[in-house]
Structure 1
Amino acid sequence: MKPITQQFFTDLEKKLWTAADKLRSNLDAAVYKHIVLGLIFLKYVSDAFEERQRELREQFTHPEHDYTMDPDQYGGAGTQEYEENIAAELEVRDYYTEKNVFWVPVEARWQTLRDCAQLPPKAPLPWNKPGKDEPEEMRSVGWLIDNAMEAIERENARLKNVLNKDFARVQLDSSKLAGLIGHFSDTDFASREYKGQPLDLKSKDILGHVYEYFLGQFALAEGKKGGQYYTPKAIVTLIVEMLQPFKGRVYDPAMGSGGFFVQSEEFVERHAGQIKNGKNGKRDISVYGQESNPTTWRLAAMNMAIRGIDFNFGSGHADTLLNDLHPDLRADFVMANPPFNMKEWWNEKLSQDPRWIVGTPPQGNANFAWLQHMLHHLAPTGSMALLLANGSMSSNTNNEGEIRKRLVEDDYVECMVALPGQLFTNTQIPACIWFLTRDKCNGFALNKKKRDRRGEFLFIDARQMGYMKDRVLRDFTANDIQKIADTFHAWQQGEGYEDIPGFCHCAKLDEIRKHEHVLTPGRYVGAAEQEDDGEPFSEKMQRLTKQLADQFAQSAKLEAEIRKNLVGLGHEVTLP
């Protein structure tokens, strides 16, 4: 990202979050999250509509364009009849839908909403007939927003039951909602320059970035609950960079707000020039997902709509393990971050489920249920990545050890990555990433053929990587992600890979059998080599012993001074 683009986003984030955060004192984070993200979505669809409208107006008035309206037929350019006909033509729905732009009726357009939010209490709404009586609740800004959401859903089948329409029910003063609309209105989401420098951004890029930023901020504000819908972007990026979902069907059975789909789409756009299949890499993937939480399901659907990503999330929210909405799907790439160690998941109807390819999962822990569900949905040459608690790599409780043994012996496991702690907002449980595939002797990574990897397993220990972004959360740098992904790809392709003590190791099946099929990377990568500083051991020991003695002496001197000062103040003190 260019420095000016980064500065633009940083300033925009700060401005919008400051405005939205004013609601925190009035509403719980889980509630005002949907208020703010709903308004961001409304602003996006309206901006996209107006952007298309400006394009059409230019085309109607351009003498050499196919859509040109001959002014001579309407009394000449600038006449009332000419302008009225252009205005009528701008309201033709097909001009928008042909470009995959959502049709936004008058009452749902941002300018209309902004104007109505500022109307005097008794002023009629502009789309109603003069003199028509309006119930008092129609004067609230919450009702106006709900009415806009309903109108958009009614006019766009893809958004049916997707948008939040509870603004009027939220106990929030209309003036606060009107103020938030005003703050969002003052922001130009179609900026082409910033501080005198050009920006190569579309409104979709800006709104998408803002949406993702807000999701992250809300996840931090909600703590444990926030982790149910938001996986830290660095982890999502790492998995996508390793799997490289460049073409085909992408599936997330525990999709949350859809982060894996967003990163997959961005990956394809970045690498479109390297992909020979198809003229437009963006259309080379299709996304499928499922989510059990109804409000989170809506967040994901709005997230896709903001970015113009076609999606199949089923008809609504549903429990993936108990009610699979995509039973016939065989995906090329499957990625997920399901709840760790989920206990309450079992139902007797699952006892003979065909998804249990390598053994029935324990009833008190869903980790291997998620893993096998994903494996079941893989295409013959598909690949998958799954975030799980570290216990999944070594536990022998309730058949888990036998399931892991079968996964290894049947050669499904490709790579194991141990992650550092403190990466998640919602849990301190140490985590790892499982990479599995149905076919280790075929496949492509972008345009490069993967080598035959049967009987080989890659272990990566990334526990010492990353940095503390604040007092409680760790994050990966771009270089960290690149190093891990490059190591994985070099191993897959057989080009430039070598074991690095303390970081990565390629193990054969016999080696894993010796460890009784435990897949913890630390057992295989060994310890990092220590650099020889050239100082003889005896001299180093003598130097360090003297240094320790000096520190002990200094500590005793400081303790005596503290005792003396405290006694002088009339305090009796006993130091350990």
Structure 2
Amino acid sequence: MQRLSRDLGREFKYISDSFESRCDDLRAELASDGIEGEQLGRLLESRDEYTAERVFWVPPEARWANIQNQATRPDIATRIDDAVLAVERDNANLKGRLPRDYARRGIESVKMAGLINLIAGIGFKGSRGKARDTLGRVYEYFLGKFAAAEGKLGGEFYTPRSVMRVLIEMLEPYEGRIYDPACGSGGMFVQSEKFVEAYGGQRTDVSIFGQESNPTTWRLAHMNLAIHGVEARLGEQPADTFLRDQHPDLKADFVLANPPFNVSDWSGQLLRGDVRWTYGDPPPGNANYAWIQHFIHHLAPPNGRGGGTAGFVMANGSLARDIGAEGDIRRKIVEADLVDCIVALPAQLFFTTGIPVRLVM
């Protein structure tokens, strides 16, 4: 619950700051054109003036200033629920995707006020690119703290933009179906669409498919993608990729992923002989080669354009060690001529862990 409260609070603060920055710019533009009075007020509250600039429209009830002004009220939890409802009301693609049960949880109002005031100190104003960088670093920090608290020191963390950009530049996903089966808060998708636009393409050139097992992160992914105007199919519910594949028939042109490393409790024993394990059953005590074979399984077969391509982040050790069947699976994948290149990255790239990683394509 605390994680959900912090993450949703940061999202609200980010979209409110972005909204206010656009509002300030718009006010200055309109003033220079001599527009004032009621007409100025109408234009400042015109949704189109924001969405045209790829700024998420924030209804009045959900703006951070409104939330913070009411932080000390005993019914602040109910008012936050109302703010979430307002966001869902004005953004149909988020309907039913956001948490709206703060009042039911009975959170002490003093704790809610403290959290709101804490998040208020995070500044997302300025250029939108810089604001997103700040949000990303905040995400990374908290995800690392949550992972440590849950005993997943090497598993779940935010992928730095620099790593995502290198991976995407390697794959060059100009058009087609992009899939991330461990999509987290959707960063790979946002950066992929930026890549397409940077090279003169249109957002409609790519179709986005993803999956995420953590209910909180799944909801945040919907919010994050909505903020950036990215349409995606993330499954009808959060679900374990191995046990409940939300896109079983998908054959993607590009697989982009930073899966959790070295996961031991991935239900490997229940999936012996699965159709995805073309190159052998992955060790039940480590999911790394289950992820790799899952990626391969979901690639489009060879065609006139060459077929699907995968690019992913993987822990250093997984590409060299011989634990269980890993070495044999790795040999078969290499012999099948499926590995184009491996890029070694330096340590300390991630904000919360110094683990060295490789990019594999």
TM-score normalised per structure 2 = 0.77
Q: Helix, strand or coil for the counterpart of 2:325?
A: helix
- Following superposition, the deviation at residue 317 of structure 1 comes to 0.9
Contact residue 351 and residue 360 of structure 1 kept, 8 A? yes
Match of 1:217 among 133, 141, 147: 141
Query: Structure 1 residues 44 and 318 mapped into 2: Cα distance closer, same or farther (>3 Å)?
Result: farther
The yes-or-no answer on 1:360 pairing with 2:261 is no
Q: Indicate the structure whose relative CO is greater, using CA pairs within 8 Å and at least 6 residues apart.
A: 2
Q: Helix, strand or coil for the counterpart of 1:413?
A: coil
Percent sequence identity is 43
Contact residue 416 and residue 433 of structure 1 kept, 8 A? yes
Match of 1:386 among 312, 328, 331: 312
The residue that corresponds to 2:192 in the other structure is: 264
Distance 2:334 2:19 in 1: 52
The yes-or-no answer on 1:295 pairing with 2:295 is no
Query: Structure 1 residues 117 and 259 mapped into 2: Cα distance closer, same or farther (>3 Å)?
Result: same
The residue that corresponds to 2:79 in the other structure is: 144
The residue that corresponds to 2:170 in the other structure is: 242
Unaligned residue ranges in structure 2 (runs of 5+): none
Match of 2:10 among 37, 43, 65: 37
Contact residue 46 and residue 110 of structure 1 kept, 8 A? no
Deviations 1:347-386 (A, max 9, x none): 5663343222222323232221111110111123222122
Contact residue 147 and residue 156 of structure 2 kept, 8 A? no
Matches within 5 A, 1:451-490: none
Letter aligned with residue 12 of structure 2: L
Q: Helix, strand or coil for the counterpart of 1:311?
A: coil
User: How many aligned positions are there?
Assistant: 348
Distance 1:252 1:284 in 2: 17
Match of 2:261 among 340, 343, 348: 340
Distance 1:350 1:188 in 2: 44
Matches within 5 A, 1:97-246: 104-117=58-71, 139-165=74-100, 167-168=102-103, 169=105, 170-171=107-108, 173=110, 175-177=113-115, 179-180=117-118, 183=121, 189=125, 191=126, 201=127, 204-222=128-146, 224=148, 225=152, 227-246=155-174
- Following superposition, the deviation at residue 395 of structure 1 comes to 3.6
Contact residue 68 and residue 117 of structure 2 kept, 8 A? no
Distance 1:32 1:248 in 2: 36
Deviations 1:72-114 (A, max 9, x none): xxxxx97xxxx4x997898787898898876644433445435
Q: CA RMSD in A?
A: 3.9
Query: Structure 1 residues 232 and 108 mapped into 2: Cα distance closer, same or farther (>3 Å)?
Result: closer
Q: Helix, strand or coil for the counterpart of 1:286?
A: strand
The residue that corresponds to 1:563 in the other structure is: none
Larger Cα-atom Rg: 1
Contact residue 211 and residue 303 of structure 1 kept, 8 A? no
Contact residue 57 and residue 90 of structure 1 kept, 8 A? no
- Following superposition, the deviation at residue 115 of structure 1 comes to 4.6
- Following superposition, the deviation at residue 260 of structure 1 comes to 2.0
Letter aligned with residue 176 of structure 1: G
Letter aligned with residue 230 of structure 2: I
Distance 2:24 2:232 in 1: 23
Distance 2:194 2:136 in 1: 13
TM-score normalised per structure 1 = 0.51
Distance 1:109 1:214 in 2: 20
The residue that corresponds to 1:15 in the other structure is: none
Query: Structure 1 residues 55 and 246 mapped into 2: Cα distance closer, same or farther (>3 Å)?
Result: farther
